[in-house]
Amino acid sequence: MSFLRGTRAPAPPTDDPLHCLAGGLDFGPGLQVAARSAASASRLVVPENQDNVLLIDASGHAVHLCGQAPRRTRVAGWPAGHVRLAVLDGMGGHGHGRQAAEAVATGLLAVPACRTLAELSSRLDALHAALQARFRQPGDADTFRRPGTTLTLLEIAPGQAPLLYHVGDSRLYQVTADMAVPLTIDHVPATGYAMHGLLGAQEWWQQVHGEHRAQIAQAFILGNALANPQVLDDGLHALAPATLPPFLHPLADRRALALRPGALYLLATDGLWSCGQPLPWLARWPRLLAPGTACVGDALASLFDAWTGSPPPQLYIDNMTAIAIRFANENIDQTALPHSILTTFC
């Protein structure tokens, strides 16, 4: 069973592209962060922005979207130096994709800072279950119509490797001067087929990264159809080496990240590669994001400007949200460099 994203309701055009969501936040001396969200790459077709973003800085100041506009708050008791960053992409269901993403972003503000992967997973899985119960329609047997959202999140505690928690088809990329490497697995039907031995590495790569398919097999609140494509289970199915084919073992959904010195990391929703042939566009990212650029805000602006000013052929209108992150080299264990997943597919 495949689950199509819901049709986005039209919204009035706006000149506010939410350029500087991280403005006024302080992520500490070892971290640069910029964030941006836009309803559309087109000024002629502007849908409702069902994306969301969450930024909690090193002193507990936070930003997320509410009613498609930034809302700033302060998280009481947030430990000094701890940072949480996430992107979310709401999807239709009963027509509440934006509300679902907002509910998760708001819920994340109440999740205490986590220092272990086990604690982070437990608390976020509990949030998924609680919100699923809230959005369940009385007497509704069609669970596939339940709204949902992607969630790709980094939990960054002082002195520790960042922790990744990932659900859906938003992505985390590592961008260097040579290439943009995906560090997450899209939760789409092709991944389910690969888990069951029906797709090899090259076929999976082509279907997931070489084409645009507006289908999803797992989302926060929605549930998952990865274990059994014919059944939508309420729970989340965390992809780990035990259930993945060998070529996807390095990309487990929940793990501590090994960082590469000088790289720029990008949390992003799929509106930033929604086109007929994404790979040529993604090949432009190393130049656009300019890993040597001092300001991550400039790098992110360059990416959005190229997407809107000179988009690739067969552009699909979709919301687009991204967080650009650069870690100071002194905070990186240079003995723990990630193996490029691209060598498996190319």
Token pair of 166, please?
């990932």
pLDDT band with cut points at 50, 70 and 90 for residue 143? low
Nearest to 34 by CA among 259, 302, 281, 257: 302
The predicted-structure confidence for 261-280, as pLDDT tens digits, reads as follows: 989 999 999 999 999 999 99
Cα–Cα distance measured from residue 90 to residue 71, given in angstroms and rounded to the nearest whole number: 18
Residue 320 has pLDDT above 50, yes or no: yes
Q: How far apart are CA 38 and CA 281, in angstroms?
A: 18
What does the DSSP 8-state code read for residue 79?
A: P
Q: Give the pair of three-digit tokens for residue 8.
A: 């986005």
Cα 206 to Cα 326: distance, rounded to the nearest angstrom: 29
Report helix, strand or coil for 33. strand
Separation of alpha carbons 309 and 311, rounded Å: 6
Task: At 132, list the tokens.
Answer: 């699923």
Tokens at 170, concatenated: 């938003």
- Asked if residue 332 lies in contact with residue 326, where contact means CB atoms within 8 angstroms, the answer is no
* Domains of the chain, each with CATH number or no CATH: 3-327 (3.60.40.10)
Interatomic CA distance for residues 8 and 252, integer angstroms? 30
* Alpha carbon distance 37, 52 (integer Å): 8
Could you tell me which residues are beta bridge partners of residue 172? Answer: 267
Residue whose token pair is 């302060």: 74
Q: Which residue, 194, 195, 192, is CA-closest to 203? A: 194
Rounded Cα–Cα distance for residues 40 and 316 (Å): 9
Q: What pLDDT band is residue 308 in, cutting at 50, 70 and 90?
A: confident
Q: What is residue 142's predicted lDDT score, i.e. its pLDDT?
A: 55
Residue 101's pLDDT is 97
Whether the predicted pLDDT of 7 surpasses 80: no
Local structure of 88: helix, strand or coil: strand
| Comparison of pLDDT for 330 and 309, the residue scoring more | 309
- What pLDDT does 333 receive? 54
242: which 2 tokens?
């035990």
Over pLDDT 70: what percentage of the chain? 84
Alpha-carbon distance of 134 to 146, in angstroms, equals: 11
**Where would I find the H helices in 241-284?**
278-282
- Quick check: 337 pLDDT over 80? no
Determine contact, residues 162/154, Cβ cutoff 8 Å. yes
Closest by Cα among 23, 154, 156, 21 to 80:
156
DSSP assignment letter at 184: S
CA-nearest of 277, 273, 269, 276 to 306 is 273
Most confident option among 48-62, 92-106, 138-152, 326-340: 48-62
Q: Tell me the β-bridge partners of 320.
A: 38
Give the H/E segment covering residue 120.
Answer: helix 117-135
- pLDDT tens digits along 115-124: 999 999 999 9
User: Is the pLDDT reported for residue 335 higher than 60?
Assistant: no
Task: Kindly state the average pLDDT of the residues 175-190.
Answer: 96
Identify the burial level of 11 via C-beta atoms within 10 angstroms of its C-beta, where 0-12 means exposed, 13-18 middle and 19 or more buried.
middle
Structure-block tokens of residue 298: 């400039």
Work out the mean pLDDT of the chain and round it to a whole number. Answer: 88
Question: In which band, very low, low, confident or very high, does the pLDDT at 93 lie, cut at 50, 70 and 90?
Answer: low
State both tokens at 282.
């993604």
Angle at 133 between CA 131 and CA 138, to 5 degrees: 135
- Separation CA 82–CA 140 (nearest Å): 41
Q: What is the DSSP letter of 330?
A: G
